Chain A
Amino acid sequence: MAAASSFNATHEAITVRYNSVDHAYAEQRDIRLLGFVLFLISDVVIFSAFIFAYLYLRNSVPNWPPITKGGHQLPRFDVAYAAINSTILFGSGATMHSAMESWKRLDKPAFNLWLLATIVLGIAFLGGQGYEYHSAQVTWAGSTMGASFFTLTGLHGFHVFIGIIYLCVLYLQANRGVYTGSKYFGLTAGTLYWHFVDVIWVALFFLFYLW
């Protein structure tokens, strides 16, 4: 073991990275941010696996929408309706981004407004999705098209649902003073998560409605 003084000098040179609590926070934040991004990646894999299943099933029959045993072709999904619903969800992404921007410039009223708008748009999207399920002419267990559609959009809807609860919690926490102008990892994570569910919808919208 080296003599104490030279040890101290070298050790300090190599190890002293943080000299305030804020730096300790920053370290924790980086760790959690990476963890959260990796979580989103593993979630992308789950969606990708189901999307692969959909593409595989779609590719293994000559016609799509598939033809039932009775001989009639299943209807396509309604593009125009889904297009409106999609813009509602994408719009909620934009409002969420605005909420985050407001928080960063310490504009709390604007933050509250944008966050509430995001929650309302999210609920509107889920409502629209519910209406579409209600009026759907295919069923989950009825055909491979229904199976992949309801499984994927259902999984996505579940993510939106969790996201809405998450945003509500963030709203309450932000107004109880849990986050500050420099420490707001929860909001960052919430924003990333919400953008993520929006982007998953881009893929689903294309795969089920446009193609």
Chain B
Amino acid sequence: MAVAAHAGFIGGDTHDHIHPEPQGFIRKYVFSLDAKVIGIQYMVAAFLFFLISGLLAEVVRTQLLVPRGAILSNDTYNGVYSLHGSSMVWMVIIPLMTGAFGNFVMPLQIGARDVAFPWLNLLSFWLFPVSAVILFSSFLIGAPDAGWTEYPPISVQGPAGTSLWCIAIFLIGISSTMTGLNFMVTIVKMRAPGMTFTRMPLFVWASLATALLNMVATAALSAATAALFMERQFNVPFYDPTRGGSPLLWQHMFWFYSHPAVYIMILPGFGIVSEVFPTFARKPIFGYKMIAFSSIAIALLGFMVWAHHMFTSGMAPWLALPFMILTMVIAVPTGIKIFSWLATLWGGKIHFHPAMLFSLGFIATFTFGGITGVFLSSVPFDYDAHGTYFIVAHIHYVLFGGSVFALYSGLYYWWPKITGRMMSNTLGVWHFWLTFLAFNVTFLPMHLLGLWGMPRRVAQYQLHPEFQFWNDVASVGSYVLALSTLILIYNMVQSLLRGRRAPGNPWNARTLEWMTTSPPPYYNFRTIPAVLKNPYNFGEPLPYIGLDEAESAGSTHPPAGSSPLPAHA
């Protein structure tokens, strides 16, 4: 901390760090060190990439309107769905889960002024748009065509853009690792006084588990993509079976990362809905410790299930059984969470705010996707469904119906905190119902198509014209899904332009981020409050002491302590 000034403090001469806020545009908004600004940067960039990748998905659905393929050549189609998948996973959901909400909400929730390493955070962020630009620019020289999993040997022989894919994924992997490390240290070392581990908000628990996954698993992805890059550019044999390499090696290394990555993409979502349910049901969360510890259990078990993606790949058959059992076991901590949320809702005074609606929709669709996941973990069923649209349906139920619904929920929940403006609830409700219905219209038929044997990643299905009806239904659903996003965009824009000013705590929530102004000041809290209990005991007084009354009342005057005082080394 180069410049750390000491704030005078009501309770005594404690040494606390309040950085002076930079005033220049570049330092304040572009290369900001403030986790909140970085969170917003992640949010804006990732939302942009969300729209781009969403358009790619619409192209895919349009192509499949007719059995012979409506608009694209087979090669272009391969590039489009490969980039749709890669970008949705690495450039949209992971950055939104950890980068956006993690950066904005987590430090506030633990009562910290910033993350542990602001410079590292800045670097993590800027690697992200750079890698996204590299990823999308692969279209210019021949987009990667082996799907988001880029299995060799196809990816080794693939178009030139596959090398750009390697670079982009390597960079975003490094960025993820650094974010994970940063969050881990922040959560372990920088919690407000009195905030023991069992008093942390559940989103923080989820962020902790995610940080562990990010830190450990992502390095394997970096190694795998580096090796793929070396093989493509310097002809170094890792994966090419004709030269002693092994395509299965890639699958092991890739899934050792990418299975934990699905938990990176869902655990913060679990955290978000765990915040939303008690707030809008006005009830203490049911099973706080079980929800918290099951996040860690999922993270640890998540390292031991990767080969269930490889049942049909020719891996040693004796491996299938332990991986099948472990995969089924991982449904247990997930089920614990689901039932805890349902028990939280039970008898609660439920407010159907858009954030709550999306969380409720999350339970429905994610559970559905989770159940098809348990199907797929069983080896005989996987032999049948592997590589079909059933997989596509499953992954979209957990990633869209799970992660994206949770992200929407978090967006509606924290939007007033982030922007200081309220959103329109009516539009939010419309957005939810349209999204929820269109989502199911789009992806439910894919289960049928998959069970009938329609393979994924095909540009045409001329041998099976009978698949056309449900494909068309899915495509129409996807168009409505795109339109529903326009409602969200309109809602955000009108909120920013003329939305009602948000009070510090519009939902009467109890976690720490609501105990400061909306938007929070640069230093988050004038004095760091002390924490007496976990935050979910609705009906009791707030478990904090030392809250600044002016701030909770929404004053915008900077406190005396924020002026830069002499620095120490």
Which of A16, A31, A49, A151 is within 8 Å of B12, CB to CB?
A: A16
Interface contact B12-A12, CB-CB below 8 Å? yes
The one of B227, B528, B545 that contacts A10, using a Cβ cutoff of 8 Å: B545
Nearest CB on B from A141, distance (A): 5
Listed stretches A20-28, A81-89, A100-108, A195-203; interface member? A20-28
- Considering the chains assembled together, what is the distance between the CA atoms of A151 and B522 in angstroms? 45
**Chain A: interface residue total (CB-CB under 8 A):** 49
The answer, yes or no, to whether B245 is at the interface (CB within 8 Å) is yes
Report whether A15 and B15 are in contact in the complex, using a CB–CB cutoff of 8 Å.
no
Those of B94-141 within 8 Å (CB) of chain A: 116-117
A residues within 8 A CB of B245? 57, 144, 147
Chain B residues whose CB sits within 8 angstroms of the CB of A35 once the complex forms = 116-117, 181-182, 185
Docked-complex contact A15 and B530, CB < 8 angstroms = yes
Quick one: which of B11, B117, B224, B234 contacts A16, CB cutoff 8 A? B11
Which residues on A sit within 8 Å (CB–CB) of B182? Answer: 35
Contacts of B235 in A (CB 8 A): 141
Task: Say whether B15 contacts A21, CB under 8 Å.
Answer: yes
Whether A166 is near chain B, meaning CB under 8 Å from some CB there, is no
CA distance A14 to B532 in the complex (A): 10
Among B216, B220, B243, B547, point to the contact of A1 (Cβ < 8 A): B547
Looking at the complex, which of B186-194, B420-428, B468-476 is the stretch in contact with chain A?
B186-194
B24 within 8 A of partner (CB): no
Q: Is the CB of B236 within 8 A of A52?
A: no
Distance from B510 Cβ to chain A, minimum over Cβ atoms (Å) = 15
Complex contacts, B456 vs chain A, CB 8 Å: none
**B237 on the A face (CB < 8 A):** yes
- How many residues of chain B are within 8 Å of chain A by beta carbon? 56
Q: What 0/1 readout, one digit per residue, does chain B (530-541) give for beta carbons within 8 Å of chain A? A: 100000000000
- Interface of A (DSSP majority class): helix
Complex Cα distance A31/B185, Å? Answer: 6
What is the CA–CA distance of A25 and B116 in the complex, to the nearest angstrom? 14
Q: How distant is the Cα of A107 from the Cα of B11 in the complex, in angstroms? A: 41
In whole angstroms, how far apart are the Cα atoms of A147 and B244 in the complex? 11
The docked-state distance in angstroms from the alpha carbon of A57 to that of B250 is: 11
A62 to chain B, nearest CB (A): 11
Whether the pair A2, B545 counts as a contact (CB closer than 8 A) is yes
A57 CB to nearest B CB, Å: 6
Closest beta carbon of chain B to A201's beta carbon, Å: 18
> Which residues on B sit within 8 Å (CB–CB) of A27?
189
Interface residues of B in 178-229 (CB under 8 A from A): 180-182, 184-185, 188-190, 193-194, 215-220, 222-224, 227
The answer for the CA separation of A90 and B467 in the assembled complex, in Å, is 65
Q: Is B405 an interface residue (CB 8 A)?
A: no
CA distance A11 to B568 in the complex (A): 25
Stretch among A36-44, A110-118, A121-129, A168-176 lining the B interface: A36-44
| From B218, B243, B244, B546, contact of A11 by CB (8 A) | B546
Does A45 touch B at the CB level, under 8 Å? Answer: yes
Q: Which of B180, B219, B246, B252 meets A43, CB within 8 Å? A: B219
Q: A8 to chain B: which residues have CB within 8 Å?
A: 10-12
Q: Which residue of A lies closest to B234 (CB)?
A: A141
Tell me if B230 counts as interface (CB < 8 A to partner A): yes
A140 within 8 A of B: yes
Q: How far is the CB of B184 from chain A (nearest CB, A)?
A: 6
Q: By the criterion CB–CB under 8 Å, are A15 and B181 in contact?
A: no
B486 interface hit (Cβ, 8 Å): no
CA distance A46 to B237 in the complex (A): 19
- From known contacts A31-B185, A141-B235, infer whether A183 and B569 are also in contact, taking CB-CB under 8 Å: yes
Interface flag for A61 (CB, 8 Å): yes
A30: Cβ under 8 A from any B Cβ: yes
User: Which one, A7, A14, A50, contacts B223 given CB within 8 A?
Assistant: A50
A31-B545 Cα distance, complex, nearest whole Å: 25
Is B219 in contact with A45, judged by CB distance below 8 angstroms?
Answer: yes
A46-B547 in contact (CB<8A): no
Check A53–B227 contact: CB distance below 8 A.
Answer: yes
Which residues does chain B contribute within 8 Å of A25, judged by CB atoms? 568-569
Shortest B225–chain A CB gap in Å is 10
Chain A hits for B216, CB < 8 A: 41-42, 45
A135 proximal to B (CB < 8 A): no
Q: B23: CB under 8 A from chain A?
A: no
Chain A: CB-nearest residue to B221: A49
Query: Do A52 and B116 touch (CB < 8 A)?
Result: no
CB pair A38 B185 closer than 8 Å: yes
**Is there contact, CB below 8 Å, between A141 and B219?**
no
Contact present for A14 and B193 (CB under 8 Å) = yes
Given contacts A12-B12, A24-B568, A141-B236, contact A46 B223 (CB under 8 A): yes
In the assembled complex, the CB of B307 is this many whole angstroms from the nearest CB of chain A, namely 13
B236 touches A140 (CB 8 A): yes
Residue of B nearest to A183 (CB): B569
Q: Give Cα A41–Cα B216 distance, bound, in whole angstroms.
A: 8
Determine whether the beta carbon of A17 is less than 8 Å from that of B568.
no
- B249 interfacial by beta-carbon distance below 8 Å: yes
Please provide the 5 A-B residue pairs with the shortest distance between their CB atoms, ordered closest to farther: A49-B223, A45-B219, A144-B244, A11-B11, A14-B530
Residues of chain B at the chain A interface (Cβ within 8 Å): 1, 4, 10-15, 17, 116-117, 177, 180-182, 184-185, 188-190, 193-194, 215-220, 222-224, 227, 230, 234-238, 243-246, 248-249, 252-253, 256, 527-528, 530, 545-547, 549, 568-569
Q: A10-B545, A14-B193, A38-B215 are in contact. List 12 more A-B contacts (CB 8 A).
A: A10-B530, A11-B545, A12-B11, A31-B190, A34-B189, A39-B181, A42-B219, A49-B253, A53-B223, A57-B249, A141-B235, A144-B238
